[in-house]
């Protein structure tokens, strides 16, 4: 009996913190514009991880072919027909210690994939750091929110 | 050759011989009629369809009397998606398919761009160098994710089914 009461009290105490952590994690959801303004990325949640795909491009068409841009720099030649609009450039992020980590970011201009960590500076500003190996060797971009989460 | 080197050779050679004899077998494994849905309203541009697959390898392991540890590689060899007969893929410009799970990295399964006009099914172009999907399929649950480039806004859901064929390498 005493154990049940203690367990109930413990769960009642812990539940708000757990819900709050989830709310904070989901603050990443929404549409964000990259620092150079060339692309907008929609972040969505699949199972317990966060993924971001390109939903808008300032220059959607290839200047040579005049057709919608494709992932022409993909290291795997057979996937170069993948449209850039809709491309998942942020993959596999998990929320830990007030940041989204363990994920990768893809740079369509070089065809390179980097480790990445995302920090929220404020509700409408993200700091996206791509790096190779160690976080110190990387570059940070600032993204702005365009639309509140859905 | 000194005595130590000779002794080492005699100790290691049976192990090398044993591992060389451990034959690898390749078996085909299919996941059929995986239901995915992009929930409407859908907007022009990229929309996400998802379907969950639970214990993907369980039946295969049981059928072949295997443990997960005996599998060394799972390679996707074919991916086909079907649209509802009544609708077809008329609304869809392109499809990109991925496998996602909490315990493994998202892996690209293939792409079809453009979807042939009037098609009700589409066979995806697979990566030339397919990744090992063992870690994804070993998870209790994984999500099949299809990014659909939709031609125009619609209030409908867009359901589709996926058929995947894998080559499983095991001992």
Percent of chain A with pLDDT over 90: 79
Does residue B64 sit within a domain?
Answer: yes
CA B146 to chain centre: 12
Domain locations in chain A as residue ranges? 2-148
CA quadruple B121, B161, B79, A75: dihedral sign:
positive
Is B48–A81 a contact, with Cβ atoms under 8 angstroms apart?
Answer: no
CA A126 to chain centre: 10
Q: Show contacts of B65-70: CB within 8 Å, 24+ apart.
A: B66/B170, B68/B138, B70/B170, B70/B171
Interface test with B, best of A88, A89, A111 (most B CBs within 10 A): A88
Q: Residue written as tokens 């110190």? A: A136
Of the partner residues A42, A81, A92, the one whose CB lies closest to the CB of residue B106: A92
Does residue B14 sit within a domain?
Answer: no
Average pLDDT, chain A: 90
Is A82–B111 a contact, with Cβ atoms under 8 angstroms apart?
Answer: yes
pLDDT for B53 beyond 90: yes
CA distance B94 to chain A (A): 8
Question: How much is the pLDDT for B22?
Answer: 66
Is B127–A88 a contact, with Cβ atoms under 8 angstroms apart?
Answer: no
What's the number of domains chain B is made of? 1
Residues 91-120 of B with CB under 8 A from A: 93-94, 96, 98, 100-102, 105-106, 108, 110-111, 113
Contacts of A87 in chain B (CB under 8 A): 96
Domain that residue B47 falls in: 24-170
- The residue-averaged pLDDT of A83-112 equals 97
Of the partner residues B105, B106, B125, the one whose CB lies closest to the CB of residue A78: B125
Of the partner residues B106, B108, B111, the one whose CB lies closest to the CB of residue A51: B106
Q: What is the ipTM of this complex?
A: 0.84
**CATH 3.20.20.70 given to domain A2-148:** no
Among A10, A52, A14, which residue's Cα sits nearest to residue A31?
A: A52
Does residue B6 sit within a domain?
Answer: no
CATH of the domain at B85: 2.60.120
Which residues have a Cβ under 8 Å from the Cβ of B40 and sit 6 or more positions away?
B154, B155, B156, B157, B158
CA distance B83 to B92: 10
CA distances from A39 to A59, A134, B129 (A): 9, 26, 28
CA distances from B24 to B19, B72, B73 (A): 11, 9, 10
Does residue B75 sit within a domain?
Answer: yes
Contacts of B149 in chain A (CB under 8 A): 83, 85-86
Question: How much is the pLDDT for B2?
Answer: 67
Average pLDDT, chain B: 91
Among B60, B23, B52, which residue's Cα sits nearest to residue B134?
A: B60
- Complete edge-to-edge strand list for the sheet that includes strand B121-123: B104-112, B92-101, B141-150, B45-54, B25-38, B158-170, B71-82, B121-123
Give the SS3 label for residue B130. Answer: coil
Which residues have a Cβ under 8 Å from the Cβ of B63 and sit 6 or more positions away?
none
Does residue B7 sit within a domain?
Answer: no
pLDDT for B15 beyond 70: no
């Amino acid at each position: 009996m005493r154990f049940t009461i203690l367990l109930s009290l413990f769960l009642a105490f812990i539940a708000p913190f757990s819900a709050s952590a989830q709310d904070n994690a989901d603050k990443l959801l929404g549409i964000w514009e990259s620092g150079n303004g060339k692309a907008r990325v929609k972040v969505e949640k699949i199972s317990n991880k966060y993924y971001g795909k390109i939903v808008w491009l300032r220059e959607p068409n290839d200047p040579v072919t005049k057709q919608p841009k494709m992932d022409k720099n993909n290291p795997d030649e057979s996937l170069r027909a993948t449209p850039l609009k809709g491309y998942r450039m942020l993959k596999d992020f998990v929320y830990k210690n007030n940041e989204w980590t363990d994920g990768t970011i893809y740079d369509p201009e070089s065809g390179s994939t980097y480790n990445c960590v995302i920090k929220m500076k404020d509700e409408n500003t993200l700091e996206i750091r791509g790096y190779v190996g160690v976080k110190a060797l990387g570059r940070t971009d600032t993204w702005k929110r365009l639309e509140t989460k859905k | 050759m000194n005595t130590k080197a000779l002794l080492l050779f005699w100790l290691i050679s049976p192990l090398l011989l044993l591992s060389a004899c451990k034959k690898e077998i390749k078996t085909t494994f299919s996941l059929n009629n995986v239901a995915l849905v992009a929930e409407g309203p859908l907007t022009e541009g990229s929309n996400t369809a998802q379907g969950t697959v639970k214990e993907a390898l369980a039946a295969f392991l049981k059928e072949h009397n295997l443990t997960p540890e005996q599998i060394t590689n799972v390679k996707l060899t074919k991916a086909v998606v079907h649209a509802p007969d009544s609708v077809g893929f008329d609304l869809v410009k392109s499809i990109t398919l991925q496998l996602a799970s909490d315990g493994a990295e998202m892996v690209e399964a293939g792409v079809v761009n453009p979807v042939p006009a009037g098609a009700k099914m589409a066979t995806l172009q697979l990566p030339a160098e397919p990744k090992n999907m063992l870690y994804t399929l070993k998870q209790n649950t994984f999500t099949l994710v299809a990014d659909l480039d939709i031609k125009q806004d619609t209030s409908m859901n867009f359901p589709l089914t996926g058929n995947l064929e894998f080559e499983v390498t095991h001992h």
